[in-house]
């Protein structure tokens, strides 16, 4: 499941593209890469779950992997012909440094770089939890504007802070010993700040890791996500799966009681 740590790791892997001339650019939506051949990649970066590739023609490619997308970089010279695109591969960029490919993305888009502050999606993002300098006062302010939301919905809201996906929302609720349906308004500013600081710590620790872990244990890398009916690592109670906003949320009914004093 690609989350902010995945995308920041992907930006690092695509890093060798920087400063390289684009020898070949193909996309399912061909218009998205029109005119890129012969141009130079300036920067590869991430904002939350968005991968951004800045090109010297003043445009930026934006890739969102959604739930199934995968990025791959092969450090080798540009391919001489041969199929790049396929039903799976939606974007190919070849340079002398290697080939970047994206499979099954949710979005491949392109916009004028200077329009980023007004971009309909990017301009709405909250602070990026994968970065060092997160303005947690701003994150808490945005969170407190949604007092009636369940905390499990809040954590997925990229307008509050970006980078958390479905894995981390369950893990963060567990780490904070919060039932997923606790309302945001029941949490004080300090508690909210602590949850997002932990999110930053976990996301940053997992950037570039082949296997994501919140527990630090190789054999049990996650506390609750995807562990329906398995034993809670802390108390042994069977983990429960519920639906929230159309997606699974996993929790321990003993460690995360709804009525816990907050
Ligand atoms: Zn438990």
Centre of ligand 1 to C-alpha 238, Å, is 8
Same domain for 47 and 107, yes or no, is yes
184 occurs within a structural domain:
yes
Whether 68 is a known active-site residue: answer no
Q: Is residue 122 part of a domain?
A: no
Domains of the chain: total? 2
Residue 126, domain member (yes or no): no
* 232 Cα–ligand 1 center, Å: 5
Tell whether 262 is covered by a domain.
no
Are residues 141 and 111 located together in one domain of the fold?
no
| pTM for the full predicted model | 0.93
Regions of the chain where pLDDT drops below 50: 260-262
Q: Which residue of the set 39, 177, 241, 247 is catalytic?
A: 247
d(C-alpha 28, C-alpha 192), whole Å? 41
- Are 20 and 107 within one domain? yes
Q: Among this protein's residues, is 2 annotated catalytic? A: yes
Ligand 1 centre distance from Cα of residue 257 (Å)? 10
217 C-alpha vs ligand 1 centroid, how far in Å?
A: 16
CATH of the domain at 224: 1.10.8.50
| Domain span at 93 | 4-115
- The CATH number of whichever domain residue 102 belongs to comes to 3.20.190.10
User: Is residue 22 located within the same domain as residue 106?
Assistant: yes
Question: What letter would DSSP give residue 89?
Answer: E
pLDDT of 1 reads: 85
Phi-psi region of 103 (alpha: psi -120 to 50; beta: other; left: phi over 0): beta
Report the alpha-carbon distance of residue 175 to residue 64 in Å, rounded.
27
> Is 49 an annotated catalytic residue?
yes
pLDDT value at position 85? 87
Catalytic residue among 45, 49, 62, 110: 49
User: Are residues 9 and 110 part of one domain?
Assistant: yes
Can 142 be counted among the known catalytic residues? no
As given in the structure block, the two tokens for residue 6 are 């995945």
Select from 67, 82, 115 the last residue of a domain. Answer: 115
Question: Is 107 found in the same domain as 19?
Answer: yes
Give me the catalytic one of 2, 105, 127, 180: 2
In the prediction, which pLDDT does 245 show?
73
pLDDT number for residue 244:
78
């Amino acid at each position: 499941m690609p989350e902010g740590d995945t995308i920041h790791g992907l930006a690092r892997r695509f890093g060798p593209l920087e400063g390289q001339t684009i020898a070949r650019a193909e996309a399912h939506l061909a218009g998205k890469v029109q005119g890129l051949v012969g141009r130079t990649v300036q920067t590869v970066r991430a904002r939350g779950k968005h991968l951004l590739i800045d090109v010297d023609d003043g445009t930026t490619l934006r890739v969102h992997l959604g739930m199934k997308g995968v990025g791959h970089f092969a450090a080798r010279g540009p391919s001489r012909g041969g199929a790049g695109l396929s039903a799976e591969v939606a974007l190919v960029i070849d340079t002398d440094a290697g080939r970047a490919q994206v499979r099954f993305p949710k979005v491949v888009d392109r916009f004028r770089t200077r329009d980023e502050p007004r971009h309909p999606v990017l301009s709405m993002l909250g602070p990026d939890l994968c970065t060092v300098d997160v303005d947690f006062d701003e994150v808490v302010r945005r969170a407190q504007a949604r007092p009636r939301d369940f905390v499990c919905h809040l954590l997925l809201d990229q307008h509050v802070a970006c980078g958390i996906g479905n894995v981390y929302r369950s893990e963060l609720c567990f780490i904070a010993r919060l039932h997923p349906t606790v309302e945001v308004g029941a949490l004080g500013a300090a508690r909210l700040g602590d949850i997002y600081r932990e999110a930053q710590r976990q996301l940053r620790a997992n950037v570039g890791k082949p296997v994501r872990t919140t527990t630090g244990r190789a054999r049990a890398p996650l506390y609750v996500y995807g562990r329906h009916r398995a034993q809670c690592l802390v108390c042994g109670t069977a983990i429960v799966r519920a639906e929230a906003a159309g997606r699974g949320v996993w929790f321990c009914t003993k460690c995360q009681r709804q009525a816990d004093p907050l």
